[in-house]
Each structure stands twice: as structure tokens, then as C-alpha cells.
Amino acid sequence: MVFNTGAALLDAVVLAIVSRDAEGTYGYRITQDVRAVIEISESTLYPVLRRLQKDECLEVYDQAIDGRNRRYYKITERGRVQLNLYRSEWGNYSRKISRIFEEARV
């Protein structure tokens, strides 16, 4: 992708992905889902998850899977409020940018 991904957009994408499952999802799966839309490394994603947890947008719990602990991330009510704000802002932003591209003469 030629466009830089800012922190707010990355936060929004992560919150949207985590919100898809009511029980939450684990870090590796989040990484794979984010990578399907944005080029990102695990070393970039895990600090985002920690920041969202610190900001109380995500809660974390561990679950034993095949004898190993797997860390799950679940969206909180505060995270849902933030995600709704991001959705609204993204809608406004993307409409404005699309309008500029549609009016451009090539």
C-alpha cells in the first residue's frame, strides 16, 4: 500500500477486527486479519494491542489451548464507543477523499 497508516486508523482496524467475535480473538489471528488489509509487522501490532488495553478499549484474558496459554483480546464498552467514533469519522473522511478523486481530471 502506498498510503501511510496512522495510529488512529490502525487502532480503528484492530478494534473493528476484535469486535467481530463476542468472546474476543487472539493476537496471531488479529495479526493475520489486519495483514489482509494493511501491510504491518507483528512488532508494530502488539504495541497497538497493549495501548488499546491500557486505554481500556480492550480487555485481555488467557486461555489454555492444547497445553499452551493463548492471549485473547476482547473489546470493552469503552472500545465500542471509540470504534463508533472511528466509524463516523472514517465515513466523513472517506466521502471527502472519494469526492476529490472523482472530481480529478486524468
Q: What is the pLDDT along the chain (106 residues), one digit of tens a residue?
A: 566 778 899 999 999 999 999 999 999 999 999 999 988 888 889 999 999 999 999 999 999 888 899 999 999 999 999 999 999 999 999 999 999 999 988 7
Which strands sit side by side in the sheet containing 68-75, from one edge to the other?
A: 25-26, 68-75, 58-65
Ranges of each domain in the chain: 7-103
For residue 1, the model assigns a pLDDT of 59
Record the cell numbers describing residue 28, joined without a space: 496471531
**CA 47 to CA 36: how far, in whole Å?**
19
CB neighbourhood size of 49 (10 A) = 20
Which top CATH class is 7-103? mainly alpha
